[in-house]
Structure 1
């Protein structure tokens, strides 16, 4: 954590380490979103098979789950900045190879998937270290705002990255790859220049006990278990965005332009909310605010399900993204603040498994329900399920419901030694 003598300011801009972190996050985020567009278009242009588009997600999903626990262990055993930097360098190398193979006309589907797999492996190790690094860059009191600002970088990349990548693809996929590589180089440079005070981690050999320490820690902390599991089930049930093409074509009777607006609406809502949260602290009743936000997410899903007007659907998705950002900031800050620094990598890794699984399975669940019940009924069921989960979790985790502040003094938190 930052030194007690370090200057404390209400402005995140006066913390150079955080500014470098944010710049690296936004550069790599833009690069990755542009890369995703180019890879999808290029593979479909080569093979013409929709199945191969699914393989792109699969070769990224497998390492994100299988390597999550080892990556969390690495994040707690080594300097996290260096782990992030090495991950970004590996991703940059893979992207440069994609550009070189494309521009020399030696590219093929297997090569693309292999390099995307390499990127997935690098991201699996980069992610828990990146998440665990943030609390060391700002004072504890500013962590929620830092989480919100960091989230805004992701949302901006989600909104603008695919659009810029699509425009550049007109000049060829090699141009997109070179631009993405340049952005990753910027990210790696900023990360290499990042300086912050930290205590060298205590090295432990990798054993089943240390690898699963994050799981045991979460099970022992009711509030941490509550926020992580709430996210899992809320996302799993409320996956309306997976069905947007059906709603755009068959219910709202709009074209690709309308689908683009529908896809952008949640990210715009999340981005604007993150800007607001970056300027306002949540000091009271954070537990109820989180539950209310997840309930708002479910209610917005219900409105979207019954809407037959494009403007109302866009408004519902906008609200859905805004509510999700509020709960995400609270969940992210609470997990980081309730976790000792020596455990943050492993806890972040377990959290990443929950998030990746819920996103992937949520889309699958929505697709299956839509096939059986229709898109509207499937989305209605998802919204109702989210509200039910909120009610159950408020009953099952009363301390989380009554929680007033994000930061709890160490004396009020159970020691972690018995969980390792």
Structure 2
């Protein structure tokens, strides 16, 4: 989430567009399935008049195309069903919030719901006691506070679910795209004309995790962190990220795990300072020069502290979320590798020296950014969004408003 969701925000949502989108996707999936199967049958029936090697090759290609189309239809249908499911659940949770807020507003206790979802009373307990003194003031105060707790818990549970879906639902939904056939993926992605960038786009891809994300740290690791004085809020990690953290725990101890968790924050802060000093747009921290700096510096720090092998394992595991846009994945994996090289070349550099090395690499064009605009800052069509060398004008970079079809994983 870009910012915390509040009650006014979520109650202002209109989820009817989600339902319409789901219906349109289901219809498209069924049409694709029907037409591809029908076309496949006609192709197979050509054996009587289209003979020889050319005919057999054509029917073989037609069979492959039909299978790819059927699989693509299944992927679209799965995405539509997930979208419809999220819409149904959102409708239910928003209904709970809406109805509970209505009960709160109409209660006898003069209650109200804050934007954050907690329930409060406009009257103090003493005022409530005095108002209901002749009906057992203490009992009425206790009843009011009991209702406040009940209402707050009901709204909080629903809002927490909505916040989680807002943060994680897109990833869960988009993971379906990973199931597209390899040829469909490759045909859906435009490749740069620059051979160097084309190689980066094709080769700097990693397969998505085959398991759903899990909360980390929890259980024993959370207890060890707490005992060592480290406070960490659990968040969703890929299975491979968790495995890397467990390896770090076994080899370097719990303090190394805590330190590894802090490095992304340090890298982001340094990237924000770099963007501000360079007078780049704040959005540059996402897919622009600031983002390149963040990934390079983060990996350089990890390499200095934990070695290049573990840094590569963890940084690559971080990119294994489903449905990652291929340009973004290539950019991050390539810049991660550049950062590890800088960290290996300068193992004893202090943070400022390391930052300067990162900036030098970016200015030389060694890193990769995503070009989403022309040199005048005018957005280009979606199909023209592509990776570019980091000496591209910063005004031409930015974060694409799309997920994109992922390329097959290589690393």
TM-score bracket for the superposition, by shorter chain length: under 0.3
Return the index of the structure with the highest Cα Rg.
2
Scaled by the length of structure 2, the TM-score of the pair is 0.25
Greater relative contact order, per chain length (Cα 8 Å cut-off, separation 6+): 1
Scaled by the length of structure 1, the TM-score of the pair is 0.24
